[in-house]
């Protein structure tokens, strides 16, 4: 492998421009430092799609312009090879990013042999193994950019409202969200748990600073592979003194609407790359329905309709539709395979059809997964017993009926955390709220008004079999100036999953940690 002469790089880099800034250099001659993300050739022409991290752009090399030697040189370029391109920037709305570079010369930094990720379809396990390279692909690029922007929007939202960002410990001595998902570590000979949530500490800092939010990593040992659970994920947890459940729900709604609007206004190009249906963004101004747990169960079981849609009937229709689509895809594959086998097809057309077949096969896999899931969802919905917690599939069934996020509040106390405030009218219920994202995504936010009464809290800690010593400091908050307060936790990766419409949470974080994966 050939190494790079660094002094030369720094010399040229001074005059180089980033792809994101090409619009400022229209009709100028520039140097772009980039990798090849796609390459096509025509008669006496090469079309190199470049990416430099800030964006993508098309560049064209014309034999008549550059001459034999440079043109020959270009032939060696492969996917992900790195280079500098010198040429003129011209506006061209048909091209990605809206500009094209007409090449005068190139300076190759490294030619790559056998880049493992081609522009064809790959299996998901393979891509996860190559996550460090997969991040370079256009879809992943778009997801990571949205992730970064959402982080910015979250901080902006809270900072502008006068919230103070406070950090909470990662090593903790107590469980916040139940003892089944704790990761235990050795803390100088004592057991310590990786934080499941910063909430309890957030409550303490809210009593000192009024309105706070945390934004930190949280850990849960989720010993099963689901499409919405990570072992390590990031959570935003605002906590507000003098807030009740209604004010908490108002804030959740305003907050989520702010983020969705921000992405819609500023990251449209990324949403286009992801082929994100924009209906969600168009509907986000509508009020988010607030329904009780009891009503949510009625909807789930088909005893109550939403906007004229019935959960059970919708599922039954979907199953019919999925089966029809599978037949359709198989037919398409058969036709394409027969056309290839018949012979006489040009090489380009064969490759095109083969790739289409791979795409169709992947689509069938997804449809078959739905074909397996829907009967299970139906079963789970029909047999759901009042008082149980909503499972992932139940949330999917409910939220597919809604066009905006929906808030479910007033939960049975036995399925919720110890710190939630009891409902004065019916002490079997607590003032918790979950925000479920529409289109089948399900829970993104979990929050509550907090129990303020010292003795009731002691009772709840005992009922949950939690060690009292670990909560002594927390109980102090109820002894020394207890006030009504509330807060919530928003799962950052769940939010990104929903905004980008990816079907699995592992694509929403650069290097996901989930059951069975620690590398790369
Ligand atoms: O509903 P949860 O468990 O609530 C709490 O932790 C509260 N202490 C929050 C608070 O009131 N301050 O978790 C909050 C959110 C969920 O709604 C979900 O979006 C996300 O965190 N979440 C996960 N995301 C990815 N992987 C997991 N394993 C997750 N578990 C929860
Ligand atoms: Mg929850």
Reported as a single tens digit per residue, the pLDDT across 227-276 is: 999 999 999 999 999 999 999 999 999 999 999 999 999 999 999 999 99
Mutate to test the pocket of ligand 1, among 199, 233, 449 (most ligand atoms within 8 A of CB): 233
**pLDDT for the residue numbered 4:** 55
In the prediction, which pLDDT does 175 show?
A: 82
Q: What Cα–Cα distance (Å) separates residue 177 from each residue in 120, 371, 445, 478?
A: 42, 34, 14, 19
**Band (119; pLDDT cuts 50, 70, 90):** confident
Buried-state track 415-442, b at ≥16 Cβ within 10 A, e below 16 = ebbbbbbbbeeeeebbbbbbbbbbbbbb
Domain(s) labelled CATH 2.40.50.140 in the chain stretch across 4-110
CB of 199 sitting under 6 A from ligand 1: yes
CB atoms within 10 A of CB 463: 11
Q: Which residues contact 207 (CB under 8 A, 6 or more apart)?
A: 241, 477, 481, 483, 485
The ranges of the chain annotated as CATH 3.30.930.10 are: 133-286+403-508
12 pLDDT above the threshold of 90: no
Taking the C-alpha atoms of residue 300 and residue 102, their distance in angstroms, rounded to an integer, is: 58
The overall average pLDDT reported for the chain is 94
CA atoms within a 13 Å half-sphere pointing along the CA-CB vector of 185: 12
Pocket test for ligand 1, best of 147, 175, 181, 197 (most atoms within 8 A of CB): 197
> What tens digit of pLDDT does each residue of 83-97 get?
999 999 999 999 999
C-alpha dist (Å) from residue 151 to 144, 154, 259:
11, 5, 9
Ligand 1: does its nearest atom lie under 6 Å from the Cβ of 80? no
The superfamily CATH assigns to domain 133-286+403-508 is: Bira Bifunctional Protein; Domain 2 (3.30.930.10)
Identify the bridge partners of residue 232 per DSSP, sorted by sequence position.
Answer: 219
Strands 211-219 and 164-165 turn out to be: parallel
Q: Work out the angle at residue 224's Cα, subtended by the Cα atoms of residues 221 and 226, and round it to the nearest 5 degrees.
A: 110
CA of 447 to the centre of ligand 2 (A): 8
Q: Is 197 in the pocket of ligand 1 (CB under 6 A)?
A: yes
Residue 421, ligand 1, Cβ within 6 A: no
Residues whose CB is under 5 A from ligand 2 (ion)?
446
- Interval 388-424: pLDDT, tens: 999 999 999 999 999 999 999 999 999 999 999 999 9
Sign of the C-alpha dihedral computed for residues 444, 492, 225 and 139 taken in this order = positive
Q: What is the pLDDT of residues 414-462, one digit of tens each?
A: 999 999 999 999 999 999 999 999 988 999 999 999 999 999 999 999 9
Q: Is 152 exposed, middle or buried (0-12, 13-18, 19+ CB in 10 A)?
A: exposed
Spell out the SS3 assignment of 190-221: EEEEECCCCHHHHHHHHHHHCEEEEEEEEECC
CATH hierarchy code of domain 4-110:
2.40.50.140
**According to the model, what pLDDT value does residue 13 have?**
64
pLDDT at 436: 97
> What is the rounded average pLDDT of the residues 497-508?
96
Residue 230 Cβ contacting ligand 1 at under 6 Å: yes
DSSP state of 424: S
């Amino acid at each position: 492998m050939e190494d790079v002469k660094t002094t030369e790089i720094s010399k040229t880099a001074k005059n180089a421009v980033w792809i994101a800034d090409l619009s400022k250099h229209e009709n100028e001659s520039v140097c772009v430092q980039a990798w090849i993300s796609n390459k096509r050739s025509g008669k006496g022409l090469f079309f190199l799609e470049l990416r430099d991290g800030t964006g993508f752009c098309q560049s064209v090399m014309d034999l008549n312009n550059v001459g034999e030697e440079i043109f020959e040189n270009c032939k060696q370029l492969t996917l992900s090879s790195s280079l500098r391109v010198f040429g003129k920037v011209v506006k061209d709305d048909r091209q990605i990013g809206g500009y094209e570079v007409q090449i005068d010369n190139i300076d190759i930094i490294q030619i790559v042999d056998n880049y493992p990720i081609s522009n064809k379809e790959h299996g998901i396990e393979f891509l996860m193994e190559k996550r460090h390279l997969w991040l370079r692909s256009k879809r992943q690029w778009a997801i990571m950019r949205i992730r970064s922007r959402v982080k910015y929007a979250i901080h902006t939202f809270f900072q502008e409202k006068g919230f103070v960002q406070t950090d909470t410990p990662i090593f903790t001595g107590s469980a916040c969200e139940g003892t089944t998902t704790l990761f235990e570590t050795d803390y100088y000979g004592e057991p310590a748990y990786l934080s499941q949530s910063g909430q309890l500490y957030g409550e303490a800092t809210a009593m000192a600073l009024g309105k706070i939010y945390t934004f930190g990593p949280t850990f849960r040992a989720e010993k099963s592979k689901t499409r919405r659970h990570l072992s390590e994920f990031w959570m935003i947890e605002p906590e507000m003194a003098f807030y009740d459940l209604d004010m908490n729900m108002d804030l959740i709604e305003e907050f989520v609407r702010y983020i969705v609007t921000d992405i819609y206004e500023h990251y449209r190009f990324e949403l286009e790359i992801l082929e994100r249906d924009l209906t969600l963004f168009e509907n986000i101004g509508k009020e988010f329905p607030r329904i009780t747990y009891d009503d949510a169960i009625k909807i789930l079981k088909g005893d109550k309709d939403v906007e004229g849609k019935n959960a059970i009937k919708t599922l039954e229709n979907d199953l019919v539709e999925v089966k029809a689509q599978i037949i359709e895809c198989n037919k398409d594959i058969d036709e394409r395979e027969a056309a290839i086998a018949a012979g006489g097809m040009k090489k380009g057309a064969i490759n095109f059809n083969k790739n289409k077949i791979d795409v169709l096969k992947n689509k069938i896999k997804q449809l078959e997964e739905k074909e397996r899931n829907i009967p299970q969802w139906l079963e789970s919905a029909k047999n759901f017993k009042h008082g149980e917690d909503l499972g992932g599939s139940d949330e999917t069934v409910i939220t597919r009926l809604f066009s905006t996020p929906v808030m479910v509040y007033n939960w049975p106390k036995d399925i919720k955390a110890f710190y939630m405030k009891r409902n004065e009218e019916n002490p079997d219920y607590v003032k918790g709220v979950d925000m479920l994202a529409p289109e089948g995504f399900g829970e993104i936010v979990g929050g509550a008004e907090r129990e303020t009464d010292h003795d009731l809290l002691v009772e709840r800690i005992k009922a949950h079999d939690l060690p009292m010593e670990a909560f002594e400091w927390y109980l102090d908050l109820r002894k020394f100036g207890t006030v009504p307060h509330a807060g919530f936790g928003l799962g950052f990766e769940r939010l990104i999953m929903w905004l980008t419409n990816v079907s699995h949470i592992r694509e929403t974080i650069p290097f996901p940690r989930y059951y069975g994966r620690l590398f790369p």
